[in-house]
Structure 1
C-alpha cells in the first residue's frame, strides 16, 4: 500500500493504553489504514518524525458555543474553529439554539447551517437547545432530524428565564429522547434559589462582578442536579449533566452511577484551575472580574478544585469539555453590558469563558507526559478517554472520531518531545476571536506541535503563516459537517426500576 502520510517515531496513546515505542501510523485517503512497524514508503509519502513525542487522538470538544444570537461579540465559526485546531481539537459539537417563539426546529437548523457552512477549520456537528419542546417537535421533528441530519442530542436548561423548562417539560423531553436513543444534556441549577439570592444582593447594592459567585451557590447546583437525576430515573433515560462544579452534586452523580443509572457527568478546565477570587477587581480595573463570569460560577476554595480532580480520576466524570462561550471584554455588547450607567451589575454580564484552544494543553499538562508520575493527576489513557474517545462514543461518533485505530479518521495530535513544548498561556498567542483568556499567565507543560485532521496537517506550531494566526496551515472550510449516529450509554444501563416503584408500574402512565 502507498500511504499518503506516515506518523513515525512517536509514542501512541489510546484510551486504554500507552502503546510500545516504534509503532507507526499509516494514513491513506484521510483514514488510518494501519498501525505497525517498517511501513513502506513511496516517493509520494510524507513522513512526520515525532522525535519520540506522544501522539494522541484529535480532541473532541462536545460543548462549544459559536455564533450564538445571545453572544454577538463571541466567536463565530471561523475564529472558534481556528482556535480549536491550534489547541489540538479536530471535532467540535456546537449548539443550534431554539428561541421560545420558534415553533419548528427546521428554520433553526438552516440558520445554523448558514452560519457554519464553509467557515470551519475542523469537523463539526450540532446539538439542539430546546426551549419550546412542543408535541410536534418531540413526536415528529426530532425523529426526522435524528434520521436525516444526524442530530442525536439535545440540551435543556433548568435556569435562565429565556431558556428554562419546567420539570414536567424536562420529563416529556426525556421520554421522547429515550425512545429515540438520543443523549440529553442538562444545565442543572435551581432557578428559584438563584433568582431569590440575586434579588437580595441587588436590594443591598451588592452588584460588583465578584457577587456573581455568591449569587449561584453550590447548593443551587446540588439541588438541581439531584432533581435532574430523579427525573432521568423516572423516565429511564440517559442524561449528561453539563459543566459540573460542585462536590456534592458530583456525589449525587456518583451515587446514581453505583446504582447503575445511566447518568453521565461533564466538567470543564475553568473549574479545575480557577477560583472565585478571579472575579475580584484588579488594582488597574475594578470591573476586571467580569472576565471570569460563567455559570455555574467559579467556586471559592482549593478543596473544590481537588474534589473535581478526584472525580476525573475515579471515573465520575465521563467527559471534559471547554464550554467555550466567550464574549469580548472591552466591547459594549460584550462583558461591558454589565456596566450600567457607570454602575457594575453582575446580573447583566454575559455568562461564559473562552477555553476551546487551551482545553487540551491544560489537561495534558497534568499527565506523566509533563509531570513526575507521583505528581500527575491523570494517566495518559484517561486524558484520551476524557477529551476524545468518550465524547465521541457518547455523541454517536465512535469508530470515526476520538481514537487511534484502523478505519478511524486520521485525526491526531503530535505533542512536542520533552520540555520543548512548555508554554505560558497568553492572549497574544491564541487564535480565538475574543480579547482575553481567563488562563492568562498559566504555565502548561506542552502544546500541540502538529494537529492532523483527516490526514492533513492543519496546525504546525513551528510554521509562520502570515495572516492565518501563527501556525494555522489548514484552510477555512476544510471542516466537514458530521451526521452522527446514536450515542452509546457509557455509564450504567437503561431498563432499571426507580427506587420504590414496582416492575411494570411505568406502563400504567406512559
Structure 2
C-alpha cells in the first residue's frame, strides 16, 4: 500500500496531546515522532488539526429485526454514516434466533456485513434462548473472535427478554470462558405492567413510552444486574445508562471495588422528555430505550464521564424511518420501533457539548470514543491508540469545523434526523481505515466491503487503568 506521513498535526491520545508526525506503512503505524523520514511517502498535511486514533463504536444495530420491522440502516448505509462521524470500527449485535445457535447468529451477521461494510467491525452475540446447547457453546466464543455477550432485561413478551436465572447462569459461564456480559438494564416485568395500564386508560401518545419506563425501573435493573454479577464473580458492562439513578448504582459498585463498566450515549445529552412530548406524533422520532429523560439528569451524566464511572460513549445507533416504521405506533406507543440514529453524530455531539462546553478534556474525548472502547471491547492495542504496531485508523479532527445537521447531509438511510438544525463545532475532515483514506470533507470514499472482521479478546482491564 506504500507509505503515508501525517505531518504537522497534534497527536491527541487518551494521555494527552503533543506535536508529532505519524508514519504509516502496510496498514500499520510504524513510527510516531519528529523528523521522520518522508522518503517515498505520501505526505498528508495535518497542520491545525488533531491526529486521533480512529473512533470505535461498541454499540450499533445494523440491519437488525425489531418489533416486526428492520432497522433502516443496513451495513452499507450504517457504516457510511459511522465513518462520516470519524468511526473506523464498530461492534454490532448478532441476535440468536430463538431456536438457533450463537454460531448461526454470527454467520447470519457475517452475511449481512459481507460486501457492504465500509469500516472494520466486530460482533457481539445476543442470547435470546439459553438452552443447554447454548450454554455449551459459550466457551467457544473466544476462539471465534467474540468477547462479549448481550442480555436484555427489558422487552418482556419478546424473544429478546431474559429471566434473572438465565442472566445469572450466563454470567457464571462467561466468567469461566473469559467473555464479558453486557446488559440492557430495565425491569421488563414492571414496564410490561405499566404499559398495559397506560394503554387500558387510552394513553397511547409517544410520551407514554417514557412514562412507562421511569428512571426507577432502569436503576432497579442496573442494581440487580450488578449484584448478580457480584455474586457470580463476573465483570459486567451496563450499556446506555440514561439517568442519574442508574448511574448512582454504578458508582456504588465502584465504591465496593466491583468491576463494572458503563456506557452512555449522545441522545441523553442533547434530547429530553420534552422532545417525546412534542405535539401530535412528532415525539415518535425520539422513542428509544431507555427513554429520554428530564434535562436535570445531564449534569450527573457529565460528572459520571468526568469521574470515570462512565467509561465509554457509544451511539446505540438503531435507526428507523418515520414514515412506515415509527408510524407503526400511531395508535399505540408500545408499537413504535425503539431507536435513534447516532453513529454519525456521536463524536461531534461529545466534542461540541463536552470539550467546547468545558466539561471534558480533549484526552478524555479520545478515551471515551476510542481507547476505552478498545480496552473494554477487546480491541486494544490493535485499535484505539496512535502507536507503532497499531492499525493505522486515523481521524484528522478540525476543532474549528462547523456543521449544521440536516436530513439531506446525513450519510445513512433514514428519512429524518433527530439532530435536524443542530450546529456542531468540531468534526472530522479526513478519516483513514488501516491507512486508506475513507472519508474526506463530507464524502465517503471507502469502498463497500472494504471493512474487515476483527477478532476480539477480553482481558478484563481494571476500571482505573482504563481511564484517563
1:492, CA displacement in angstroms? 7.2
- The residue number in structure 1 matching 2:288 is 294
- The residue number in structure 2 matching 1:437 is 417
Q: Structure 2 matches for 1:23-42, cutoff 5 A? A: 23-42=20-39
Are the aligned partners of 1:183 and 1:487 in contact in 2 as well (CA < 8 Å)? no
Q: Which sits farther off after the overlay, 194-203 or 265-274?
A: 194-203
Q: Indicate whether 1:381 and 2:380 are aligned.
A: no
Q: Structure 2 matches for 1:484-499, cutoff 5 A? A: 484-491=456-463
1:389, CA displacement in angstroms? 0.6
Could you give the per-residue CA deviations for residues 78-103 of structure 1, whole angstroms, max 9, x where no partner exists?
A: 0001111111000000011013222x
Among 337, 356, 363, the alignment partner of 1:350 is 337
- The residue number in structure 2 matching 1:11 is 10
Are the aligned partners of 1:73 and 1:434 in contact in 2 as well (CA < 8 Å)? no
Q: Structure 2 matches for 1:16-95, cutoff 5 A? A: 16-19=15-18, 21=19, 23-42=20-39, 44-70=40-66, 71-95=69-93
- The residue number in structure 2 matching 1:229 is 226
Name the CA distance, whole Å, in 2 between partners of 1:9 and 1:108: 45
Q: Where does structure 2 lack aligned partners over 5 or more consecutive residues? A: none
Could you give the per-residue CA deviations for residues 373-411 of structure 1, whole angstroms, max 9, x where no partner exists?
A: xx4111011111111011111111101001111110010
Question: What is the TM-score normalised by the length of structure 1?
Answer: 0.88
1:254, CA displacement in angstroms? 0.6
Question: What is the TM-score normalised by the length of structure 2?
Answer: 0.96
Are the aligned partners of 1:58 and 1:411 in contact in 2 as well (CA < 8 Å)? yes
Equivalenced residue count is 461
User: Which secondary structure state, in structure 2, belongs to the residue aligned with residue 325 of structure 1?
Assistant: coil
Could you give the per-residue CA deviations for residues 246-288 of structure 1, whole angstroms, max 9, x where no partner exists?
A: 2121111111111110111110000111101111234xxx211
User: Which secondary structure state, in structure 1, belongs to the residue aligned with residue 65 of structure 2?
Assistant: coil
Are the aligned partners of 1:397 and 1:487 in contact in 2 as well (CA < 8 Å)? no
Name the CA distance, whole Å, in 1 between partners of 2:460 and 2:445: 34
Name the CA distance, whole Å, in 2 between partners of 1:235 and 1:36: 46
User: Which secondary structure state, in structure 1, belongs to the residue aligned with residue 396 of structure 2?
Assistant: strand
Among 390, 398, 408, the alignment partner of 1:428 is 408
User: Which secondary structure state, in structure 2, belongs to the residue aligned with residue 184 of structure 1?
Assistant: strand
Q: Structure 2 matches for 1:49-448, cutoff 5 A? A: 49-70=45-66, 71-102=69-100, 104-139=101-136, 141-147=137-143, 149-160=144-155, 161-162=157-158, 163-282=160-279, 286-300=280-294, 302-330=295-323, 332=324, 334-339=325-330, 344-368=331-355, 371=356, 375-416=357-398, 418-419=399-400, 421-448=401-428
1:3, CA displacement in angstroms? 6.3
1:221–1:478 CA distance, 2 compared to 1 (3 A): same
Could you give the per-residue CA deviations for residues 443-488 of structure 1, whole angstroms, max 9, x where no partner exists?
A: 1111200001101110001xxxxxxxx5111111110011112243
Are the aligned partners of 2:59 and 2:92 in contact in 1 as well (CA < 8 Å)? yes
User: Which secondary structure state, in structure 2, belongs to the residue aligned with residue 200 of structure 1?
Assistant: helix
Could you give the per-residue CA deviations for residues 210-253 of structure 1, whole angstroms, max 9, x where no partner exists?
A: 11111100000011111011100000100101101121211111
Q: CA RMSD in A?
A: 1.5
User: Which secondary structure state, in structure 2, belongs to the residue aligned with residue 356 of structure 1?
Assistant: coil
1:367, CA displacement in angstroms? 4.8
1:439–1:107 CA distance, 2 compared to 1 (3 A): same
Name the CA distance, whole Å, in 2 between partners of 1:329 and 1:259: 44
- The residue number in structure 1 matching 2:454 is 482
- The residue number in structure 2 matching 1:458 is 438
User: Which secondary structure state, in structure 2, belongs to the residue aligned with residue 404 of structure 1?
Assistant: coil
User: Which secondary structure state, in structure 1, belongs to the residue aligned with residue 322 of structure 2?
Assistant: coil
Q: Which has the higher strand share?
A: 2
